[in-house]
Amino acid sequence: MSLLVVGLSHRSAPVSVLERAALSTDAQNKLVQDTVAAEPATEAAVLATCNRIELYADVDKFHAGVAELSTLLAQHSGVGLEELTPYLYVHYEDRAVHHLFSVACGLDSMVVGEGQILGQIKDSLARAQELHSAGKLLNDLFQQALRVGKRAHSETGIDRAGQSLVTFGLEQLAAGGAVQDWAAGKKALVIGAGSMSSLAAATLARAGVAEVVVANRTFERAERLAQILTDGDDTAAVTARAVEMAAVRHELTRADVVVSCTGATGLVLTAEAVAQAVEGRTGAPAAEITAPAAPADTARTAGKAPLPATGAGGEENCPLDLAAVQPGFSLMGEAAVAGMDAATLEQHAAWAGGGTSRLGRSREPAGGVTDRRDRRTPEADAELITALAATAASVGRIPERRKPEPVAERPAPFVFLLDLAMPRDIDAAVHRLAGVRLVDIESLAEASADAPMAADVDQVRRIVSDEVAAFGAAQRAAHITPTVVALRTMAADVVASEIARLDGRLPDLDERQRGEIRQAVHRVVDKLLHAPTVRVKQLAAEPGGAGYADALRTLFDLDPETVASVSRAVDSTETKDRPA
């Protein structure tokens, strides 16, 4: 077994990187196909969720495998390899098994203990099987991961440690209140009809919303989800209907809660669309909220340099529209260039690389100068902007990020938005609109970082450790089986040859005598081989036992091609007999 996994998740990378590296279904399929076509890999599968992208492969060379898988991830995600590499993690053999089993149990999820990951692992395996990229190793691994995840949820209270990402997101929208109390009587709009959207619709219906409207690019799927809600025993009380995607803007003016989770590569809801919906509800233009700049002495007290002031005419030859710059943003930072097209970003990168008198410094309101050596260097920012330009060239623009400074006071929201898509469906600039509360993957990651761990997590970790050991032992034992079969086949051939020779030398023996001799010789051979073959299987199942198969082949001078043919025959039989 040479299992290798290369990936990135919310634990290793910021959401902005995960968003840019997100893969469409077609891109995932192409990544799998290109991986098995590469020299080091013989099997491959992609596990892609809203907060992780992982490539699993059976490789014959570790270092070449890591290099190839990392390069393929970068190529298909559109994020440069140099930029992506710091966020990648690598697991090999038993550590890779341990990682997937932990993922299946919800230990590595943004919301610890959530069970949705099991469906995503199942989908990943099914896709690899359809592409014929999952052989014996990945089939065994993913099916065992599903069993381990189910065992963890049935034998422990890990479900109490967390909930689905949907439930967690709704709790964040409710801002600490009971979801049922918050949702009661509200009108909900669900954009998308996939598994996450379906779960969101059902959860909202059970929570007590008065109406659920489902919008999807394929209207039939939206109709099917609405019908499921109408027919469900625990959701029948809600009014459910389906609409075309073209009707989303109109439905926004009616909806109190909007949940979006589509596979779109661009924004589904722009800040302008949400602002128009707010205006349609209130009759007045949507107001924007800005955070007041922190006084310089407060910033120094907190041990942080104050944010640089920005304004028209403050930066010579800067291609950024300074009149539209949000207060509190550095002209060098990623947030300042959000929304630019590729051409403008290229100009900004050239300007940033050239440097000005204020690029390495920030001015305090009182006119003093604060050293910014603890912040990003102009060179690093220029490299980042260049990378953003490459991304903008492929997706059209850089989605705007939320302001880094928390808003001190906000009016009570009357429109609630939950964005569970990766890349995001809803423009993060919506966060600045008064009367609107937006929760997305980025804010969920921040909220979940402080979530308490349940005591059952330790029990699940023990289950994972036991299952990893059992899986490794089974794989190592299976590895030696073709060698043992080849040895017994060789012994049977020797017996047959000797019996044939005896028949020629003793032609006067009757059938009973020949049978007794044949049976005696077989018993002798079986007894001689029994103890060694049983013992070698036991030893091979232990860590470091892979060398026993090589020793057995050397001692008995077994033909490697014979062993390989036995292995292929075993794999073919198991594949044919495996249930769909």
321-335: burial string, b at 16+ Cβ within 10 Å, e else: eeeebbebbbbbbbb
Q: Is the sign of the CA dihedral 427, 431, 435, 439 positive or negative?
A: positive
Residue 115 is labelled as binding a ligand: yes
Residue 109 is labelled as binding a ligand: yes
Residue 326 is labelled as binding a ligand: no
Question: d(Cα 281, Cα 215) in Å, to the nearest integer?
Answer: 20
Q: Is the sign of the CA dihedral 224, 228, 231, 235 positive or negative?
A: negative
Residue 261 is labelled as binding a ligand: no
Q: Comparing C-alpha atoms, which of 177, 176, 216, 220 is closest to residue 200?
A: 216
Within 8 A by CB and 6+ apart from 68, the residues are: 35, 38, 39, 40, 41, 59
Residue at 258: amino acid letter? V
Residue at 174: amino acid letter? A
Residue 167 is labelled as binding a ligand: no
Q: Is the sign of the CA dihedral 531, 532, 538, 542 positive or negative?
A: positive
Does the annotation mark 105 as catalytic? no
Residue 475 is labelled as binding a ligand: no
Question: d(Cα 113, Cα 191) in Å, to the nearest integer?
Answer: 26
Between helix 116-130 and helix 195-207 the angle, nearest 10°, is 160
Residue 317 is labelled as binding a ligand: no
For 435, left (φ over 0), alpha (ψ -120 to 50), or beta?
left
Residue 77 is labelled as binding a ligand: no
Residue 33 is labelled as binding a ligand: no
Q: Comparing C-alpha atoms, which of 326, 320, 377, 324 is closest to residue 345?
A: 320
Residue 196 is labelled as binding a ligand: yes
- Which pair of tokens denotes residue 548? 């026993």
CA distance readout (Å), 435 to 248, 264, 265, 282, 412:
19, 26, 27, 10, 6
- Which pair of tokens denotes residue 404? 């880094």
Report whether 548 contacts 540 (CB < 8 A).
yes
Within 8 A by CB and 6+ apart from 146, the residues are: 104, 118, 121, 122, 125
Residue 362 is labelled as binding a ligand: no
Residue 116 is labelled as binding a ligand: yes
Residue 244 is labelled as binding a ligand: no
Q: Where do we find the tokens 């109490």?
A: 160
Which residue among 50, 105, 261, 318 is the active-site one? Answer: 50
- Which pair of tokens denotes residue 505? 């030398």
Q: Is the sign of the CA dihedral 368, 372, 377, 382 positive or negative?
A: negative
Q: Which residues are catalytic?
A: 50
Known binding residues for substrate are: 49-52, 109, 114-116, 120
Known binding residues are: 49-52, 109, 114-116, 120, 192-197
Known binding residues for NADP(+) are: 192-197
